[in-house]
Amino acid sequence: MKARLLILSLATLPLSLHAAPFAKGDAKAGEKLHKELCTSCHISRFGGDGSKIYTRPDRRVKNASALAQQIATCNTMLATQLFPEDEANLGAYLNATFYKFK
Ligand code: HEC
């Protein structure tokens, strides 16, 4: 019985050590921001609803930190000076919808 408990607690340990990326972000708020600020430019380059930029086979973003980095880069292009919370919200939305990094 004791051993089983130990195994159980070991198995759940990594979950508590590594929070999901953008766990603090609010995906709903991110989706709204994304619609307001991000899609029109992506559409102008990729057509459709612009989401191809995230789903194309040769997309550039390969992990959560690269996603955070790219959001910051596009934010700089926009010169809208998003707050860190905004970037976290955008990250939460894009990760939940397209990238699904763990
Ligand atoms: C002025 C145009 C423009 C705006 C505005 C813009 N982007 Fe981008 N974004 C681009 C371009 C161009 C690329 C593709 C870069 C490449 O493929 O080399 C890109 C790529 C990206 C990618 C990487 C896609 C991949 O390949 O995995 C992410 C993530 C992203 N943008 C997020 C955002 C977010 C979030 C916003 C709004 C805050 C935003 N972008 C606003 C032009 C823009």
Share of the chain above pLDDT 70, in %: 81
Nearest Cα residue to atom 35 of ligand 1 = 71
Residue 96 CA: distances (Å) to CA of 6, 14, 61, 100, 102: 32, 20, 14, 5, 10
Kindly state the tokens that stand for 7.
């195994």
Distance between CA atoms of residues 31 and 29, nearest Å:
5
Rounded to 5 degrees, what are φ and ψ at 67? -65, -45
The CA-to-CA distance between both ends of the chain, in Å, stands at 32
pLDDT, position 15: 44
Please state which CATH number belongs to domain 21-99. 1.10.760
Domain range summary for the chain, segments of one domain joined by +: 21-99
Report the separation in Å between the CA atom of 83 and the middle of ligand 1, taken as the mean of its atom positions.
17
Distance between CA atoms of residues 2 and 9, nearest Å:
11
| pTM for the whole structure | 0.83
Check pLDDT > 70 for residue 11. Answer: no
- Count CB atoms within 10 A of the CB of residue 59: 13
Ligand 1 contacts (CB < 6 A) are 34, 37-38, 41-42, 45, 53-54, 59-61, 67, 70-71, 74-75, 77-78, 90, 94
**pLDDT average, residue stretch 60-87:** 91
pLDDT, position 92: 97
pLDDT top residue among 14 and 21: 21
Q: What is the average pLDDT score of the chain?
A: 86
**Which atom of ligand 1 has the smallest separation from the CA of 61?**
27
Share of the chain above pLDDT 90, in %: 68
